[in-house]
RNA sequence: GCCGGAAUAGCUCAGCUGGUAGAGCAACUGACUUGUAAUCAGUAGGUCACGGGUUCGACUCCUGUUUCCGGCACCA
């Protein structure tokens, strides 16, 4: 007998060779149904993998996050088996579980199309009915290489494994796959799944290697969960900023205007301008000085900064004019360095915080462009803080606080901070090790002292220095870099920046690059998706819509109201078209205007206002003064 | 940039296996003069993304280009 120890400390003897499924069954039939896999001495075990020695066993039930991963991973195998049956020449790359789903990379002569997916699903269901056991087997590397001798992808994967490492293969019916495991034991446990899309994906994520066909799918324990997830995907389509941006006339793209070069329409620009003003005022309050520099600069400027060496591929082609060559700037730092150098600086001048609403151009790969999310012409609030070394901590923290304030005001949340460091094996970073060590240590120490949690990522630094990236999770479940604070000891060297210290000698300042809102383009895409197009009142392109019941009787009052609002700098519109009331209301609702005001006899009589909030059915009648006070408070507090 | 798909009226879309296009909404005109999500009628609107080819004939088939979409790679 072997001794199984459970998480709660209880122990129970079992026959050697007992499986997690049987253990669960021995405790309760309900538990058996709920159990998907198990941790045996920390190792992930399949439901049907025998246990031969004393062990700690932690059953993984369906409510556990890992259970869903196991299920999805098993569904990937199931799909691969189905694909192999339909397209026998298929070879397989990797097929992992991902968040809310799975994928498998496939190489086959047959081009897999969306319309093939139902066919594959059908085959999957057939295999489920066959109740194939998913059986684990452990073999040597040599044996594994022999078994998969016809599969170049598996050969490569096996070749990369350490000598002596346990290599496991899984067999279900006629299908055998190399796999670390954690499976549901039998295909009959896989019931509620859907294949979602086909796409191309480079083998091993390397753009220099061949491209495989990738099928994405999702798998759940219940039909309700599956439906719920599909509904989430539907909702994301509704939220898509490209769809909303068009419907609400926020921005447009036009082939003739240029790929990836968005045009801000009046509605979108109103929102952006409101945000710009907000950030501008906030920055002033935090001691920033605003300036403006050109979109074009000499190549020499960017050679001095090092951008040209490190960034050339991301820049638009050069412009030559006689002996001079110009670049469309991808960043604004060099200009700010020039400004710093334009005067003799004293230690008393520091910190010097320059901020600018910058237009910059990056020659992004055409395939990556998408709506306002990935563009080639972008606008952002950029800032460079010139500081003494003893001011770094204070300045980084102050920037971080500003970032926090803005993110909170925009109803967003920081998901995590990323401390991006260099990777010495890669050539894309400047090579002064001493500067790097100092900069990285400074940031790390600062975060640690302030007990700010972060994830360290090697190789993600800027070429000139390490950075703290503020990662935000969007309504589309994407993690994006919203803000960034970068420590730079390099550009001060490159541009020979100095200040006169209290000792009368020249010293080198430090530059802190601070990005606040990603870019206005990307921020707009995020906010559109976040609010589903229904902006809070302070941001809404149109805040109030005044609709008279009858033009004859109520137009004057409606116009007087509209004028009052406009004088108070509220963004009001009045609908004087010869249309039915219901029609105007429908349009106002579709435009997601926060307040629609219908004025008729009653309102004219007592000088009141009847309003209806966007998305609500309720109509509220209040005095004019009360209404104005309410809306102004709402705007001031940035509440909805 | 790479793999795959798509492109029809301002918008959303229909158009079977080749016989030169249709709806709803929007626009315009007229009637109606309205109390919370579409009043009625009429009019106009398309080089079927662009170029080449096959064919008696191409929105439809082939091909090149452009842009967009799903991903990959890259990335704010």
pLDDT for the residue numbered A637: 96
CA-to-CA distance for A47 and A25, rounded, in angstroms? 11
| Fold of the A544-637 domain | Rossmann fold (3.40.50)
What does the block give as tokens for A540?
Answer: 């809404």
| pLDDT at residue number A425 | 66
Nucleic strand B contacts from chain A, 478-507, CB < 7 Å: 480-482, 484
What is residue A164's predicted lDDT score, i.e. its pLDDT? Answer: 79
Ordered by start, the domain boundaries in chain A are: 2-61, 66-237, 251-530, 544-637
What is the CA A169 to chain-centroid distance, rounded?
35
Tens of pLDDT, residue by residue over A379-414, are: 999 999 999 999 999 999 999 999 999 999 999 999
Tokens of A516: 């606040």
Position A330 scores a pLDDT of 94
Q: Which residue has the tokens 């609010």?
A: A531
Residue A366: pLDDT band with limits 50, 70, 90: very high
pLDDT of residue A435: 87
Q: What's the Å distance between residue A255 CA and nucleotide B59 C1'?
A: 22
Percent of chain A with pLDDT over 70: 100
Any idea which of A334-338, A539-543, A612-616 has the lowest mean pLDDT?
A: A612-616
> Cα A279 to chain center, whole Å?
22
Nucleic strand B under 7 Å from the C-beta of A579: yes
Is residue A83 over pLDDT 90?
A: yes
Which residue pairs, CB below 8 angstroms and at least 24 apart, start in A162-171?
Answer: A165/A141, A166/A138, A167/A138, A167/A139, A167/A140, A167/A141, A167/A143, A168/A136, A168/A137, A168/A138, A168/A139, A169/A136, A169/A137, A169/A139, A169/A144, A170/A77, A170/A134, A170/A135, A170/A136, A170/A137, A171/A134, A171/A135, A171/A137
Spatial separation of the C-alpha atoms in residues A256 and A321, rounded to whole Å = 26
Under 8 Å between Cβ of A183 and A37? yes
Above pLDDT 90, what percent of chain A? 90
Compute CA distances A548 → A13, A545, A556, A579, whole Å: 81, 10, 9, 11
Q: What is the pLDDT of residues A124-170, one digit of tens each?
A: 999 999 999 999 999 999 899 999 988 999 999 999 988 878 899 99
Confidence of residue A433 (pLDDT cuts 50, 70, 90): confident
C-beta of residue A288 within 8 angstroms of C-beta of residue A383: yes
Strands A572-574 and A544-548: parallel
Residue A586, CB, less than 7 Å from strand B? yes
Predicted confidence at residue A162, as pLDDT, reads: 82
Distance A200 CA to B72 C1' (A): 6
Q: Which nucleotides of B are covered by protein (CB under 7 A)?
A: 1-5, 11-12, 26, 31-39, 66-76
In tens, the pLDDT along A166-223 reads: 899 999 999 999 998 899 999 999 999 999 999 999 999 999 999 999 999 999 999 9
Structure confidence at residue A511 (pLDDT)? 97
- CATH node for A2-61: 3.10.20.30
- Report the mean per-residue pLDDT for chain A: 94
Global ipTM: 0.95
A49 Rama class: left (phi>0) / alpha (psi -120 to 50) / beta: beta
Rounded CA gap, A366 and A255, in Å? 13
pLDDT score recorded for residue A426: 61
According to CATH, the superfamily of the domain at A251-530 is Bira Bifunctional Protein; Domain 2 (3.30.930.10)
pLDDT at site A640: 81
CATH architecture assignment, domain A66-237:
2-Layer Sandwich (3.30)
For residue range A220-269, list pLDDT tens digits in order: 999 999 999 999 999 999 999 999 999 999 999 999 999 999 999 999 99
Q: B45 C1' – A589 CA distance, angstroms?
A: 28
pLDDT of amino acid A432: 84
């Amino acid at each position: 007998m072997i001794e199984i120890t459970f998480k709660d400390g209880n122990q129970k003897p079992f026959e050697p060779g007992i499986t997690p499924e049987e253990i669960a069954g021995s405790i309760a039939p309900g538990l058996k149904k709920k159990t998907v896999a198990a941790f045996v001495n920390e190792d992930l075990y399949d439901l049907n993998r025998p246990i031969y020695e004393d062990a700690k066993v932690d059953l993984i039930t369906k409510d556990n996050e890992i259970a869903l991963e196991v299920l999805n991973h098993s569904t990937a195998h199931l799909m691969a088996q189905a694909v192999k049956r339909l397209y026998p020449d298929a070879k397989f790359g990797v097929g992992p579980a991902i968040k809310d789903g799975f994928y498998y990379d496939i190489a086959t002569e047959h081009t897999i199309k969306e319309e093939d997916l139902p066919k594959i699903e059908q085959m999957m269901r057939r295999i489920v009915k066959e109740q194939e056991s998913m059986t684990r087997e452990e073999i040597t590397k040599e044996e594994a290489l022999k078994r998969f001798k016809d599969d170049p992808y598996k050969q490569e994967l096996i070749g990369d494994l350490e000598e002596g490492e346990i290599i496991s293969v899984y067999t279900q019916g006629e299908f055998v796959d190399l796999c670390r495991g954690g499976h549901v034991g039998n295909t009959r446990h896989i019931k509620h799944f859907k294949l979602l899309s086909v796409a191309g994906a480079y083998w091993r994520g390397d753009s220099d290697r061949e491209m495989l066909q990738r099928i994405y799918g999702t798998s759940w324990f219940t039909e309700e969960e599956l439906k719920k997830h599909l509904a989430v995907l539907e909702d994301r389509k509704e939220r898509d900023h490209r769809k909303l941006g068009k419907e609400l006339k926020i921005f447009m793209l036009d082939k003739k205007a240029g790929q990836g070069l968005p045009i801000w329409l009046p509605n979108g620009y109103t929102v952006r301008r409101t945000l710009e003003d907000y950030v501008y005022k906030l920055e002033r309050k935090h001691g920033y000085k605003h300036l403006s520099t050109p979109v074009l600069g000499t190549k020499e400027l960017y050679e001095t900064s090092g951008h040209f060496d490190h960034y050339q591929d991301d820049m638009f082609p050069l412009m030559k004019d006689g002996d001079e060559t110009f670049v469309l700037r991808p960043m604004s730092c060099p200009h700010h360095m020039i400004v710093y150098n334009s005067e003799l600086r004293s230690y008393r001048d520091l910190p010097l915080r320059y901020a600018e609403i910058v237009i910059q151009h990056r020659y992004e790969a055409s395939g990556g462009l998408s709506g306002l999310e990935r563009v080639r012409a972008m606008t952002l609030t950029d800032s460079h803080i010139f500081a003494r070394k003893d001011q770094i901590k204070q300045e980084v923290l102050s920037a971080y606080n500003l970032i926090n304030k803005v993110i909170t005001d925009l109803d967003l949340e920081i998901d995590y901070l990323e401390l991006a460091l260099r990777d010495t094996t890669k050539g894309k970073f400047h090579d002064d090790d001493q500067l790097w060590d100092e900069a990285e240590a400074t940031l790390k120490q600062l975060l640690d002292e302030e007990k700010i949690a972060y994830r360290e990522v090697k190789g993600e630094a800027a070429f000139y220095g390490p950075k703290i990236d503020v990662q935000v999770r969007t309504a589309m479940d994407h993690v994006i870099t919203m803000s960034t604070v970068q420590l730079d000891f390099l550009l001060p060297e490159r541009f020979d920046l100095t200040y006169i210290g209290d000792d009368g000698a020249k010293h080198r300042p430090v530059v802190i690059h601070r990005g606040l809102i990603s870019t206005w383009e990307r921020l707009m895409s995020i906010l559109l998706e976040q609010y589903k197009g229904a902006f809070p009142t302070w941001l809404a392109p149109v805040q109030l819509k005044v609709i008279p019941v009858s033009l004859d009787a109520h137009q004057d009052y409606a116009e007087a109201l509209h004028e009052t609002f406009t004088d108070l700098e509220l963004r009001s519109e009045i609908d004087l078209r010869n249309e039915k009331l219901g029609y105007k209301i429908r349009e106002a609702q579709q435009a997601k205007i926060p307040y629609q005001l219908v004025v008729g006899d009653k309102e004219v009589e007592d000088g009141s206002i009847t309003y209806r909030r966007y998305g609500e059915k309720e109509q509220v009648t209040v005095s004019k003064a009360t209404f104005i006070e309410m809306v102004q408070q709402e705007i001031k507090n940035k509440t909805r």
